[in-house]
Structure 1
């Protein structure tokens, strides 16, 4: 039994004979009661978004000695230094039982188990996001999920949200391109999306963005039909792909890069500094190699190691700091709060989240399922009755949080204007080739087939602001599809 008592046969219940024949179980069969009670409670709430994900263990190795001049983070201070990591990649909108190969933004998360505590990069597989105001985040995700009446994904609901929040047009350009249907999670890029700060030993700071690039290049399904066919045959296709690769020693590898911006360059990028619907141009802020991440070990128990894994952009180490990005600020609260609800207030003590660095925080104690409770140490800050946290560590962390911030960028409501269409237009005109443009139009038009005409026209008008050609091609494709119905 769970309390350690031996049992004769755990596969049968105890029964007592009944008068007149037959038998019945009793409440005295504590093993039966315990087994049924635990079974009814063995599920935990799935993630509200990113519910279905594949994960693996690995390591990160520093390859560039120049990185240490930008940050005092110890896990980046020496070439060849290796840090254990936990990686998870997920779809966003679907439930745990949904198919892997749907068109969706993938979540790309990495937890670095450093000597100074856990550092999480929690991003996506596209470089921008749909909204820049955190108040819109719940509505965004609801619009990508099931309709409350039909309980089915709903294209009308999807497009109604985005037409009314056209700041999402840049992310939509990525989503309906080839990148929206990756054919292998081993070939998926990752982006931190937000702007962060790096801080050096002298207290100087630099703005930065994180980029993971798969060593084997980025690949996608040739057509949406191919992805749908794969989903019908194996809805867990991506899970099998990465598991088999690791099991056979074909370890997935990503190179980690940084874009770095000096504070005096911030004015040159304007709103793009903290607006996650925009990128930093690579020609102005080229990628600098940091190191490589290699996945080497599959989980031995998915629930214990991946389902209970908790990632948050609030998990930072000395040498990395937050910025006034409103979406980042909101996520730094919302993500840990979601984990407290989903797996409990002491989720940081679970194996996939447990720091390898010493943890001393007796003012965070007690609660459900705690495994470390600090013995007789008083449970308040600045006690003279226990050793506490070394003063230098506290001073350093507080210093990083108080790094001066630029004050020249207003973070109030920003109306959608011409600036929001510039980068999507560059993506369409300079990055997409003719074949990709045709594919994009076909992918987008397919979701507009059953949308009411006024909304369909509004979608065409929104993309026409990116480039009039998109509107014309969408209209032509929809008329063509209508003729073939």
Structure 2
């Protein structure tokens, strides 16, 4: 066999290793006999063992005791944060080797597909909360590499609320339901959270992201991911570069409207879970490019912010993101609990060629993850749960403990030893052994924070001023809503003071909505946290005009808008619908990778004008516009008359317009649109320009209509019509 062919066979084996490793632990009860956990066949699983058919249940019923015991212990403690999540399997493929940057094996072989498991999540809510809360989204990726597991544990926002992990318990306690009444669930719009934020100016940048559209993504498949911290890449020469990790979705970065998110929470609180599952099941595999920002060690201090500060980004205009590979999620879990719930991510799981920095938030997280998994997964052997096992062998002298699954042979469990040939042996760096980067350290032990961490407002200002007008309006509305839920007026007033240090216009708009005045100057001292290294005497002096330039990468306006893959289109129809009008649009949507659902007054089938039967996916009772990306109304005299008289159909269209979605109608269905609130406000001529500005398409030529409609759906939303064309819905 040729060397190239041998390599190909090895690659195929490596790709399937994780799948094969899980297979012995995967059970399918189809066609199998019922047994106890010890393998004893069960004759009756429906009735307890009793002393007579009306007698007492007997203590000796071992089948009952095992069944009840297991049921009583089916729930493990949920995660303190990121409790509600959804996961999927996939692969990562490198574009080209990176030997100059890192010696990590999976980043130096472009032929290998590295298995991955990804878990997306909300942060604040419990397992039973909604997917559509305004919240940060977790984005954790476990790479099963040939050198061990590498966990890239991040979020869909590149910064964080705090600079030092010492403050993490305070942050979580503040945002969680208030302890005296356990209210509100999965929401930051309450007094304790904003009290904390108003006293912690280092949160200013993150709070801008949280109040933006990034906090309510259209789907997990349409959001970015970030490593948040600054890491290191180490090459085989021992040379180090600072690294920021980015995940860029190939479907673009898209959101839903806040009003829409609240409606979705009522209609389908599993919206994001269902979306991810359905996309993978249908073969519309989600894809992200992994990119890195590379900062040479020599450039560590060249920026006007500190690379080790997790409340700061490195603007992409200063350091471009270099795409290095692509991740594809292509398989749903077989069992939610065994995989998604038991998967244990740890920021400390790294491989040779990747290392940490002195980011104080990162350093604290290194402790937190291990401690959390110990209590959540029952002991120190959580790494032996199948979903957490590496695909490479693991050997050490660690033994015993709760839930130990591996049976270790031999009499020695210590090192060095002479009775067991000194196995397992240590591995030299040249043979792949991990060696920490030899960073020079010369400092005193102090509880302090560097002065370079004290600029809390310039990047918050950069973020706000980089947004499009609709995005700015959404941020203003979000602050107004959240602070409007705060009952303590002094907390609201303090926040207005902080907002004035970010942008005077933003502060003025929010203050007006709250019935307050913008203070002449923010409350002093601003930082009530009182850091050990002192409080800056004048935060106003930090506002340097040179830091207010815009960053195009921060606005979602500039995202990918050239595809309708996996977008859901609602087709409103009834008996008598024009078959050509309906089927032409449906086929056009399917050809472009979208999904089309016929929605009618009742389930079952409707009869088209040509006497053919058309299946109905949803009725107006079970469907809602908030679950779709666009709406189409086909022609057909009887169908049009039915929809015009159907209040739910008119509401469906009004609501879709309110949420800025693409809407199309056959010219023969224009009377349905005339029954809405919005139609009379639109321009009379629906030109190409109108379609791109308004997202409304009305055409007699069905083929021309389909092309314009597809183009409009790809734009995602028409936020510009939101303010001037508000309608009730």
| Pairwise TM-score range, normalised by the shorter structure | over 0.9
- Cα deviations across residues 202-256 of structure 1 (Å, max 9, x unaligned)? 11011101000111001100x2110010010111111100000000000000000
2:415 to 376, 381, 386: 381
Equivalent residue runs for 1:33-112 within 5 Å: 33-65=65-97, 67-112=98-143
8 Å CA contact retained: 2:246, 2:292:
yes
Partner of 1:137: 168
The structure whose RCO (Cα within 8 Å, separation 6+) is larger is 1
- Cα deviations across residues 259-294 of structure 1 (Å, max 9, x unaligned)? 011010001125421000001121221111110000
Partner of 1:483: none
Report how far residue 420 of structure 1 moved: 1.4
8 Å CA contact retained: 2:309, 2:453:
no
Change (3 A) 1:36 1:248: same
Query: Residue 399 of structure 1 aligns to a residue in which SS?
Result: coil
8 Å CA contact retained: 1:107, 1:123:
yes
Distance in structure 1 (CA, Å) of the matches to 2:246 and 2:440: 25
- Is residue 2:438 matched to residue 1:402? yes
8 Å CA contact retained: 2:351, 2:434:
no
Partner of 2:313: 279
Partner of 1:204: 239
8 Å CA contact retained: 2:114, 2:144:
yes
- Which runs of 5 or more residues in structure 1 are unaligned? 481-485
8 Å CA contact retained: 2:427, 2:433:
no
State TM-score, norm by structure 2.
0.63
Partner of 2:498: 462
Change (3 A) 1:312 1:213: same
Q: Which runs of 4+ in 1 moved over 4 A?
A: 393-398, 403-408, 414-418
8 Å CA contact retained: 1:210, 1:256:
yes
Report how far residue 400 of structure 1 moved: 2.7
1:304 to 330, 338, 341: 338
8 Å CA contact retained: 2:238, 2:437:
no
Distance in structure 2 (CA, Å) of the matches to 1:389 and 1:164: 52
Distance in structure 2 (CA, Å) of the matches to 1:407 and 1:183: 47
Equivalent residue runs for 1:163-202 within 5 Å: 163-202=198-237
Partner of 1:12: 47
Distance in structure 1 (CA, Å) of the matches to 2:182 and 2:47: 40
8 Å CA contact retained: 1:118, 1:316:
yes
- Is residue 2:395 matched to residue 1:349? no
Equivalent residue runs for 1:244-393 within 5 Å: 244-269=278-303, 271-343=305-377, 344-362=379-397, 364-384=398-418, 385-386=420-421, 387-392=423-428
Query: Residue 15 of structure 1 aligns to a residue in which SS?
Result: coil
Change (3 A) 1:325 1:407: farther
What RMSD in Å do the two structures reach over aligned CA positions?
2.0
Change (3 A) 1:56 1:164: same
Distance in structure 1 (CA, Å) of the matches to 2:78 and 2:485: 30
Change (3 A) 1:106 1:449: same
Distance in structure 2 (CA, Å) of the matches to 1:125 and 1:241: 17
Distance in structure 1 (CA, Å) of the matches to 2:452 and 2:515: 29
Distance in structure 1 (CA, Å) of the matches to 2:437 and 2:479: 43
Change (3 A) 1:279 1:411: farther
